[in-house]
Structure 1
Amino acid sequence: MNILDTFVLLLYFGVLMIIGIIGVKKAKSEKDFVLAGSRLGYYSHVGCLAAVIIGGAATMGSTSLGYNFGVSGLWFVSMMGFGIAALGLFVVNKIGGYEVFTISQLLGKRFGEGTQLISAIVTAIYTLMVVVTQVIGMGNVIHVLLGWSLIPSMIIGGGIVLFYTILGGMWSITLTDIIQFIVMTIGVFFIMFPFSVNSVGGLTALFSSVPEAHLSLTNIGWDRIFQYFLLYFFGLMVSQDIWQRVFTARNQKIAKKSAISAGLYSVLYGLVLSIVGMCALVLLPNLGDSQSAFTSLALEILPPGLLGLVLASVCSALMSNASGAIFASATLITNDIIKVYVKRDMTDRDIINTSRIVIFGLGVLAIIFSVWIQNILVALDMAYAILSGAIFVPLIIGLYWKRVTSKAAFYSIIASSLVIFISFIIFGITSTLPIIYGLITGLVVIVGFTLIIPENNIEVNKENTSIYK
């Protein structure tokens, strides 16, 4: 990178930190800090949802899959898009009337404090692993672009995210997400994609230059497509960082429309980056690591200035996803564990201060795990396997089947979590079997306990006023 591109990238980092300072003034209550006051309109809400879906794994991972498998690499992000669209179509109307901030609070209202605690722990582990994927991505981008060592690069990238997240909470995240969505869209759709296609002589030349299998929608394999469906379609529907963004909408109608729109955006994003990955294969056929396909291609084809903007778009994807995930994890720990089991009479100021301490601790932990794992797609697969396998069944069945008992939901999460972790050890962390076994276990336990051991179920505790104002 030349001086101009480095300046553009560092200027972008500076803007994000300034926004964090601005967010401090807006975060005056718990709802402001946790949900940005639930005031977002359609356009800003679409940007926030898309920004939290499209992270570093989605950007760099889709390009890597396009490099290795061609157009079928789109299934990775497309399943995320289908998941968020399904959330808008089938779940938003069910959850809109609860006065809650987290998935665990909803499960707690439905099934009691025991289920709230265990679901908070499981979901917090998932969100922490999502942060790990983004810190790995940020470290690799900064390492490649600025030539700094990998570990310091992870610390710097993660530190910037921690800075603005700790200060302003969801207000800072929302403001940065809107900017990051704009930068991300311009960088990928209007710069990287047309420059990549033009560099190989157009789409016709590209399609004739890559292996024929790269043009098949199933080249990646039905087993991988099914794995992405299990991981990301189900996972996005019950993801705390997504739910927390959903609740920032001004009303239920906006939440539903923007979820569907963000889903469609994600499908297009996956398709475009798969084609970019194919362009990288033509121009850089001997890459040692396909995870670097996006950044390597950008360094190869983009002129000064635009290179800095496109690389800022990669950092946008990484940072927006990281900030949302770490904030979601901190919200779960603060609201569903500390506030319930440690200090019940917390004021809004206590909650904000405690959240900031938890965010800092989780950020340090995420950086440590990032140095240990160092593989984006593996870390993301682990995260969604834990979430989808353990939380999806009790949450969705509990919303639609009122007979489900509190014991059934509690033991369903416990049993499926144990099965997933044991399956990781037996079959490996890249296997599809842990999530399949987790889903089956959760379903068998929740249905079996409900039918065999009936109880007077806890009444669903809906507030008279919706979370949407």
Structure 2
Amino acid sequence: MAIVSGLAWGLGYFGQPHILARFMGIRDAALVPVARRVGTTWVAICLAGAVLVGVAGIAFFDTPLDNEETVFLGLITETMPAWIAGILLTAVLAAVMSTADSQLLVTSSALTEDVYRAYLHRDAPPRTLLWVGRLTTVAVAGVALWLALRGGTVLDLVAYAWAGFGAAFGVPLPLSLYWRRMTDVGALAGMLAGAVTVVLWNNVVGGDLYEIVPGVIASAVACVAFSALGSPPRRDFVTQLAEAEAAVE
């Protein structure tokens, strides 16, 4: 169960908006292979460093820490001079802020462009969109603060959010790109089924299995079932993209 749950974290990468935004904003599609190699290498370095910190903490501290998530901070303060420790602790805050601002910007942009502008005010002027984006950023930050104050470890919060995004968007996205029979109804059903399953599994069912596993399964079943009920689109997204690129050239 632990092995399956650990490996299932990889399923969440397909549905993380703050990660996909980097690929969407790339300057040229020809740079994607290079970006893939750089990104994979950097992730491997970060994960190896995290494992090394954990192993070093086990060897260094005679008694377990009250909060095992502070092992890096404890190693810094115990082994480094004060001025070096200050720089390294600042690096931790920088990493936190980097992820936080990415999440806030992606969420604010999605709510402003994909909800407010698409459904509420299609002809909204730029100034109105600017203020809507600012207000949604403050609102999302407030919700995040409320969730943080409820308690729990950082890993628990990250795992829950990772499963929610991964199960909701991780299946519909690749199917929309590469499966010709995928429909908009199937994509919406997959997003709803994945998100609801994660919430129910985490708060009602529980257990040792990571909630992203049943969430991804439910999302895949919903995508296929509801797409099969309707008529397939005339052209898949990849074909439309190729035709658009040919027209531009």
Once the 2 structures are TM-superposed, how far is the Cα of residue 389 of structure 1 from its aligned partner? Answer: 1.7
What value does the CA root-mean-square deviation take over the aligned residues?
Answer: 2.3
Q: Is the 8 A contact 1:411 1:446 kept in 2?
A: yes
Paired AA for residue 175 in structure 2: I
Deviation digits for residues 146-170 of structure 1 (CA, Å, limit 9, x no counterpart): xxxxxxxxxxxxxxxxxxxxxxxxx
CA shift for structure 1 position 266: 1.5
Q: What's 1:267 paired with?
A: 44
Which residue, 82, 86, 92 being the options, matches 1:304? 82
Runs of 4+ that moved beyond 6 A: none
Query: Using a 3 Å threshold, how does the CA distance of structure 1 residues 432 and 326 change in structure 2: closer, same or farther?
Result: farther
Q: Distance in 1 between matches of 2:87 and 2:96?
A: 14
Asked if 1:322 is matched to 2:120, the reply is no
Letter in 1 for 2:226: F
Alignment of 1:335-374 (within 5 A): 335-374=113-152
Provide the rounded CA distance (Å) in 2 between the counterparts of 1:418 and 1:365.
19
**What secondary structure sits across from 2:73 in the alignment?**
helix
What is the aligned counterpart of 2:174 among 372, 377, 396?
396
Alignment CA distance shift 1:357-1:252 (3 Å): same
- Find the aligned partners of 1:399 and 1:361 in 2 and give their Cα distance: 32
Q: What whole-Å deviation, never above 9, does each CA across 1:294-324 have from its counterpart, x for those lacking one? A: 1111001101321111111111111101110
- In structure 2, the gaps of 5 or more residues are none
Deviation of residue 225 (structure 1)? Answer: 4.0
Deviation of residue 456 (structure 1)?
Answer: 4.9
**2:11 aligned with 1:234:** yes
Residue identity opposite 1:359 in structure 2: T
> TM-score under structure 1 normalisation?
0.48
The yes-or-no answer on 1:282 pairing with 2:63 is: no
| Separation in 2, partners of 1:422, 1:281 | 35
Q: Deviations over 1:6-53 (max 9, x none)?
A: xxxxxxxxxxxxxxxxxxxxxxxxxxxxxxxxxxxxxxxxxxxxxxxx
Q: What residue identity is the alignment partner of 1:279?
A: A
Asked if the contact 1:427–1:433 (Cα under 8 Å) also holds between the matched residues in 2, the reply is no
Q: Secondary structure at the match of 2:231?
A: coil
Say whether 1:455 aligns with 2:243.
no
Give the percent of matched residue pairs that are identical in Structure 1 and Structure 2: 20
Taking CA–CA contacts closer than 8 Å with sequence separation of 6 or more, which of the two structures ends up with the larger relative contact order? Answer: 1
Per-residue deviation, 1:224: 3.2
Q: Structure 1 residues 458 and 349 mapped into 2: Cα distance closer, same or farther (>3 Å)?
A: farther
Alignment of 1:40-79 (within 5 A): none
Distance 1:256 1:356, change over 3 A: farther
Contact 1:394 1:413 in 2 (8 A): yes
Cα deviation per residue 1:317-354 (whole Å; 9 max; x = unaligned)? 11101110111111111111111111111233332332
Q: CA deviation at 1:264?
A: 1.2
CA distance change for structure 1 residues 425 and 277 in 2, over 3 Å: closer, same or farther?
closer
Match of 1:248 in 2: 25
